[in-house]
Amino acid sequence: MQDFQRAFATALLDPELLPPPGVVSHLSTSPRGRFSVYRNNVMVALTGALEARFPASRRIVGAEFFAAMARAFAASSPPRSPVMMVYGDAFPAFIESFEPAASVPYLADVARLEAARTRAYHAADAEPLARERLVEALQGEAETLCFTLHPSIELVSSSHPIVTIWAMNAGETEVAPIEDWQGEEALVSRPCLDVEVRRLPSGAAGFLEALRGGAPLAAAVATALAATPGFDLAENLVTLLGARLVVGVTRRGRLASHEGTSI
Amino acid sequence: MKDRTPGLPEGVGVGFKPEHFAAIAEAPQPVAFFEVHAENYMGEGGRPHAHLRFLRERYALSFHGVGLSIGSCEPLDRDHLARLRRLCERYEPESFSEHLAWSSHGGTFLDDLLPLPYTEATLAAVARHVDEAQSFLGRRLLLENPATYVRFAQSTIPETAFLAELAKRSGCGLLLDINNVYVSARNHGFDAATYLAEFPLCRVEEIHLAGHFATQDEDGAMLIDAHGSPVVSDVLALYEQVITRAGPLPTLIEWDNDVPEWPLLRAEAATARERLERASLARQTHACGRAAA
């Protein structure tokens, strides 16, 4: 039993191989056409999962190029888990090293953004803190104020304008030439049911990372300022509020979340 | 083993597709239950679970697994069993079903339902896996007959006898996919009605109906179980024969690819429901006739 499954699985992933011995049909002792139904099912399922998860990347390079790239990835990195929503987490890194895609240097980072969108889509639920509660918390001491950020938050930084490129290829904005080619930091989040993608202001990713790591507001601002001298706190607080990223606030370890504990 | 499986209602259900959610949520639907692929709901939260909560509050639910690889020669994936248990505990579905097939090998998930030889050795191995899964999940499962394209020279047991013996040894129920029977019958040159006559209908707790398409290989015509078109009339006729013999059973319309608009799928369910009612009536009439004679 062990042997037949090993031989069957190996032949499925290698189109050069014949059906393994013992695989028959009522008409043939080596039913290549019948066996290739399984081979085709596997490839269509794996590449189909990538097509569904990376539609903007696919649009950038075209269906045919994407299919070839997806087949190469599926052959070298088939899924390790039956939970297919996680399949393709390693696809962006594969794209980066995929020689034929070298002429599209931003492709891997757009794929990173798309992979992050799926993770955010399936992330745990959490209710964003009401705006007035957050405003109220911000009036206290910044040295002791800590935020619990939404579990869906993903940050993707790139030396290419990936949010602009993604938006154009996801049908969010018109496709147009990009005049000012600058790196962009993407914020992916899902405050309720819909996944949102934003271009972050300068230094925001480091600021959010620090907050997510448990740093109090004042310390997170100091970290951001050290890394990005032009870091604009007001602009970043607007993002924090507008994107509904905060699900709880604490002071020096004392819980003061949206459940109603006072600050 | 403690069985927390109450069973599905004896009507026609539909495979749930997220693109139908808005239409389904608009008004109560004439659907006895909804079935979902368990693996699509193994994320933490978000829209998939919002949909499932909505359905749970209003309809009977069937969880259909496509990733447990119960026919594997390797040990069952305990992490996956744990995910299934968590999902079942979260939603308490009326039924959980899986396939007589394997889909993982050597740590690779192949994402297809692959065939296995039917021998005493595979029977013992699959029975152990079904038993292990049922114990772990604390519920009975239903096992589905596969649609197959190849056979194995070493097979010694007919598929119907294999499934009957599996059910007997493990106590599991069976899910009879009549389209799979039709597809396999055409692909292997056997008679679908004869297969169904030999099928252990007393173990069947759910029926699947789906569409297929015809294609060719070097050996001639074959059918592909594609779930992307209406149920053909031959399959509906076999379904009526099964219901006439077995009585009404929970029946699912599966349509997973090229998914149509909700009204068309609902109409497919209505067609099956007419057949279910007609066959149930014929059975009663037949039974009364027998009683009178």
The more confidently predicted of residues A259 and A67 is A67
**Between chains, do A2 and B67 touch, taking CB under 8 Å as contact?**
no
Quick check: is B231 in a domain? Answer: yes
The pLDDT value recorded for residue B283 is 85
B112-136 mean pLDDT = 98
Q: Chain B: nearest CA to A15, how far in angstroms?
A: 14
Structure tokens at A124: 């745990």
Question: Interior CA angle at B48 toward B44 and B53, to 5°?
Answer: 95
Backbone phi and psi for residue B158, each to the nearest 5 degrees, phi listed first: -65, 150
**Between chains, do A9 and B187 touch, taking CB under 8 Å as contact?**
no
The pLDDT value recorded for residue A262 is 40
Q: For B171-183, what is each residue's pLDDT tens digit?
A: 999 999 999 999 9
- Which residue in A18, A48, A44, A13 sits closest to A32, CA to CA? A18
Backbone phi and psi for residue A151, each to the nearest 5 degrees, phi listed first: -65, -15
No. of helices (H) and no. of strands (E), chain B: 9, 13
**Between chains, do B44 and A33 touch, taking CB under 8 Å as contact?**
no
The pLDDT value recorded for residue A136 is 93
Quick check: is B270 in a domain? Answer: yes
Chain A contact set for B214 (CB, 8 A): none
DSSP helix/strand/coil, B214: strand
B18-34 mean pLDDT = 97
Host domain of residue B228: 12-292
B124-151 mean pLDDT = 98
B9-28 mean pLDDT = 97
What is the rounded average pLDDT for all residues in chain A? 93
Residue B67 near residue B96, CB atoms below 8 Å: no
Looking at chain B, the whole-number percentage of residues with pLDDT higher than 90 is 92
Looking at chain A, the whole-number percentage of residues with pLDDT higher than 90 is 90
Q: For A148-194, what is each residue's pLDDT tens digit?
A: 999 999 999 999 999 999 999 999 999 999 999 999 999 999 999 99
Q: Which residues contact B195 (CB under 8 A, 6 or more apart)?
A: B159, B160, B181, B184, B185
pLDDT exceeds cutoff 60 at A258: no
pLDDT exceeds cutoff 90 at B282: no
| CATH (domain of B213) | 3.20.20.150
Confidence at A1, pLDDT banded by 50, 70, 90: low
Q: Which residues contact A230 (CB under 8 A, 6 or more apart)?
A: A202, A203
**Chain B from 143 to 182: CB within 8 A of any A CB:** 149-154
The more confidently predicted of residues A263 and A200 is A200
B275: amino acid identity, one letter? R
**Cα(A149)–Cα(B129) distance, rounded to whole angstroms?**
42
A102-107 mean pLDDT = 98
The pLDDT value recorded for residue B178 is 98
Confidence at B284, pLDDT banded by 50, 70, 90: confident
Nearest to B110 among A9, A27, A85 (CB): A9
- Which residue in A146, A111, A155 sits closest to A243, CA to CA? A155
In chain B, how many domains are there? Answer: 1
- Which residue in A255, A4, A24, A257 sits closest to A133, CA to CA? A257
Quick check: is B71 in a domain? Answer: yes
pLDDT exceeds cutoff 50 at B78: yes
Q: What is the ipTM of this complex?
A: 0.93
Q: Which residues pair with A214 in a beta bridge?
A: none
Q: For A50-60, what is each residue's pLDDT tens digit?
A: 999 999 999 99
Q: How many CB atoms are closer than 10 A to CB A138?
A: 14
**Cα(B98)–Cα(B37) distance, rounded to whole angstroms?**
10
Q: Which of A4-8, B80-84, B160-164 has the lowest mean pLDDT?
A: A4-8
pLDDT exceeds cutoff 60 at A260: no
Structure tokens at A263: 């600050």
**Between chains, do A38 and B43 touch, taking CB under 8 Å as contact?**
no
Q: What is the CA radius of gyration of chain B?
A: 19
Question: Interior CA angle at B228 toward B53 and B275, to 5°?
Answer: 80
**Cα(A198)–Cα(B161) distance, rounded to whole angstroms?**
58
Chain A contact set for B222 (CB, 8 A): 33-34, 37
The pLDDT value recorded for residue B291 is 56
Report the residue count for chain A: 263
Structure tokens at A99: 């020689």
**Cα(A191)–Cα(A200) distance, rounded to whole angstroms?**
16
Backbone phi and psi for residue B205, each to the nearest 5 degrees, phi listed first: -120, -5
What is the sign, positive or negative, of the torsion defined by CA atoms of B223, B68, B6, B127? positive
**Between chains, do A85 and B40 touch, taking CB under 8 Å as contact?**
yes
Q: Chain B: nearest CA to A234, how far in angstroms?
A: 30
Q: Touching check for B124 and chain A: CB below 8 Å?
A: no
Quick check: is B79 in a domain? Answer: yes
